[in-house]
Structure 1
Amino acid sequence: MRLHETSRLAYGRVMTSRPAHIAMFSIAAHGHVNPSLEVIRELVARGHRVTYAIPPALADKAAATGAEVKPWHSTLPGPDDDPSAWGDTLLDHVELFLADAVQALPQLLDAYEGDEPDLVLHDITAYPARVLARRWGVPAISLSPNLVAWEGYEEEVAEPLWEEPRRTERGQAYYARFHAWLEENGITEHPDSFVGRPARSLVLIPRALQPNADRVDETVYTFVGACQGDRAGEGGWTRPAGAEKVVLVSLGSAFTDRPDFYRECVRAFGELPGWHLVLQIGRHVDPAALGAVPENVEVATWVPQLAILKQADLFVTHAGAGGSQEGLATATPMIAVPQAVDQFGNADVLQALGVARRVPAAEATAGTLRETALALVGDPEVARRLEAVRAAMAEEGGTRRAADLVEAELTRRRSRAGV
């Protein structure tokens, strides 16, 4: 058994008497913050001082874990901004992240001056965190909210994706800026490996959601699965009396400006006898844009998703990492209608597992959604596969195992330092 797999019991007495300062870094995006919140809460509960560097838009979420917030200004689009602010191309996205990292680093250096941590935790998008950890000489652990690179990833995915952008003047300028920023901070690593190949990573998704999981380097990446805690603070939900089937439709928190899709969902499920539809539409769509809805359709800007999934018969999802694993954790059949980024890959994995059907957004008509739903719900093979995945997820350890592994890294550092 590797040292980082050693249970918390071996270190509990040491860590109880020797709390550490752990610094967490993230951007203000729900999909990047939510997956790790319970890990932070658990570390605080174990007596560690945890500081959380995050823009004000999601500072309350971080503070609710018991962590001490260190706010900083971000130039990235916020969680309530129009998703179009991210642009349409690969270069649009990566340029935003690099520009934000460059301007954030001085802020974070000031925020932590004289208060350097013993260990850094960071979201995959928090580039300054790895620079700071190198400068402070402390371990850094990536908390990945989605899939990670496998052996062969660069050749199979990254190189084809970047082939054309790298040939452009704009793409070359991006890499030149990134190289220069890293070199200014004493880092000679190539930008691609700096972003995509952390020295250590805890993967906050089930192994079942990871493409080519058998080719992932497990000396670097440890799958701890979904880190779900008590969601009572999000509110509850009661299944309506007489609802024979309940379907939840949610496209997450970012790519929600899809009124045409929501209208198709109303037509698909609002006319099905015995079905009840819970439709989360986000902040960018006016409920009036849906027109008159039947009594069996419940429309909301936001819903307590996990509470509903525990009672639902079907989940129509964009296949984001968070929603996908909540569907798996509750053994809910899914219709995956991916909208952007990693959602397409997640949808493919869910379909390959036999627990979902992928429907391209352009084909998500009322008829197709209804036909797909009726084929999924009640299928005994789908139910069997969902239960098998849920059982495997339960063995991954979740929040407590993630916290154990963070503490093990702290113990190793102290042992090396002879403390």
Structure 2
Amino acid sequence: MSKVFFFNIPFHGHVNPSLGLVRELVKNGEEVIYYCNESFRGKIESTGAVFRGYSDKFYLDENYVTYNLTDLFQVHLELSALILDELIEDVKKDKPAYIIHDTMCPWGKHLSKITNIPAVNTFTTLALEPDGFFLTAGFALALAFTIVKNIPNMTKIRKTKKLIESKYNIKVSSLLDIVLNKEELNLVYTSKEFQPKSEKLIKRYRFVGPSSMYRIENMPELKLNRNTDRPLIFISMGTIFNNNIEFFNICTKAFENMDIDVLMSVGKSIDIPSLSIPDNFTVKYYFEVPQLEILKECNIFMTHGGMNSTQEGLFFGVPLIIIPQQQEQAHVAMQVVRSGSGICLKKSKITSELLKNTVDKIMSDRSYRENALRMRDSFIKAGGPGKAVKEILLYVGRKKIINTSI
């Protein structure tokens, strides 16, 4: 049995995919010490892992939202500088055999370099590569423009980068290295079929399939206001982009007279009694909805296009209507459209008529369902948490042999 440090950021979209992997590691006899925020303790401990909270210096929490890449670079690099000393002390005390970190945890990669402990990187979204899907000339131009507009942030980033490099004698390769944190082994929670240009990435990447559906939700049964003979539409904008009351009103108007049932998940700031709710609707707060159970019986899933929700829908063979709220979700939506398993709509163009027509189109065309089932098959074939653990143990074992022979 080996001891492993697992580092993550406190967001459902990053924690949920890791839970199946962690549970499988524990099942294989590994002792996992999982670093995150207190609000995720219950989820993490349910896997059999040991929860360990970051220090008081770690100020990131699930309420943090930014659309500015330089903000993201600055915050994550600063967090690494703030907590590295304490993590080094933890390594001395616990002596982990290896490290697993989310791609948004530069402190995991930095700690690996400082202590010479092998590390594995995990991608909770599509893999990013210079010759891959995201990092196109347009992306590079947009990034350059953002940098020019945010000189104060860039000054802070350069200062923190130099501090880390000089204090710990390591190299922070580039800005993107702060949020990519690639290692010799990178696990991607999707299939080769869903990942764009996967054939160019197979040397250092292993596509192990989505993992968030292997979590245990531990939620009470949700009774829906529905006629079981009618199709069920599930509307959920995730845990961050779910407080747009105008959008929810458009949904109720679109579907109130259709021969369907609708479950709509809303955010904490929505006053549900203030909504005009048609008879064929059930409206609940997102934390009341057991999403995995609902997806087993729904016919169409309307989502913001977060990687977890998207793949969970496809895992159950459910066609998707995606309304992206930011760039990463737009890229995920493009893959859904490419696979023929759903339709992407621009949030600025949403009307009740458009939503109604889109639902009608998917309901009348079986190819959306057939293609969703095809993506499901690719996810299952990828292997899931079992495959991920095999890749990790093989890699760590190989590194151990190399280090022993030196």
TM-score normalized with structure 1 length: 0.88
TM-aligned CA distance change 1:267 to 1:347, over 3 Å: same
Matches within 5 A, 1:337-348: 337-348=323-334
Report what 2:193 is aligned to.
208
- Deviation above 6 Å: which 4+ runs of structure 1? none
The RMSD of aligned alpha carbons is 2.1
Report what 2:236 is aligned to.
250
Alignment of 1:147 onto 2:147: no
| Matched residues, number | 394
8 Å contact 1:237–1:307 — kept in the other structure?
Answer: no
State the percentage of identical aligned residues: 22
TM-aligned CA distance change 1:39 to 1:242, over 3 Å: closer
**1:76: Cα distance to partner?**
4.5
1:93 aligned partner, one-letter code: L
Alignment counterpart, residue 96 of structure 1, candidates 67, 75, 88:
75
**1:207: Cα distance to partner?**
2.9
Q: 2: CA distance between counterparts of 1:65 and 1:298? A: 31
TM-aligned CA distance change 1:268 to 1:389, over 3 Å: same
8 Å contact 1:251–1:317 — kept in the other structure?
Answer: yes
2:42 aligned partner, one-letter code: D
**1:174: Cα distance to partner?**
4.2
Matches within 5 A, 1:187-202: 187-192=170-175, 194-195=177-178, 196=180, 198-199=182-183, 200-202=185-187
**1:77: Cα distance to partner?**
4.8
8 Å contact 1:144–1:201 — kept in the other structure?
Answer: yes
**1:75: Cα distance to partner?**
4.6
Alignment counterpart, residue 383 of structure 1, candidates 359, 365, 369:
369
Q: 2: CA distance between counterparts of 1:338 and 1:206? A: 21
**What SS does the aligned partner of 1:86 have?**
coil
Report what 2:20 is aligned to.
38
8 Å contact 1:330–1:390 — kept in the other structure?
Answer: yes
Matches within 5 A, 1:338-417: 338-417=324-403
Report what 2:145 is aligned to.
164
Alignment of 1:288 onto 2:273: yes
TM-aligned CA distance change 1:210 to 1:22, over 3 Å: same
Matches within 5 A, 1:326-337: 326-337=312-323
**1:103: Cα distance to partner?**
1.7
Alignment of 1:119 onto 2:119: no
8 Å contact 1:264–1:365 — kept in the other structure?
Answer: yes
Which of 109-118 and 59-68 deviates more? 109-118
Q: 1: CA distance between counterparts of 2:159 and 2:196? A: 31
Matches within 5 A, 1:198-347: 198-199=182-183, 200-215=185-200, 217-227=201-211, 228-229=213-214, 231=216, 233-237=218-222, 240-273=226-259, 275-290=260-275, 292-302=276-286, 303-347=289-333
Describe the superposition over 1:92-130 as per-residue Cα deviations: whole angstroms up to 9, x where unpaired. Answer: 333222222222223333444411210100011111111
1:69 aligned partner, one-letter code: F
Structure 1 unaligned regions, length at least 5 = 1-18
Q: 2: CA distance between counterparts of 1:259 and 1:104? A: 39
Which of 191-200 and 253-262 deviates more? 191-200
TM-aligned CA distance change 1:88 to 1:43, over 3 Å: closer
Describe the superposition over 1:23-73 as per-residue Cα deviations: whole angstroms up to 9, x where unpaired. Answer: 100111110110011100111111111100112121221111111112113
1:247 aligned partner, one-letter code: I
**1:219: Cα distance to partner?**
1.6
Structure 2 unaligned regions, length at least 5 = none
Alignment of 1:86 onto 2:65: yes
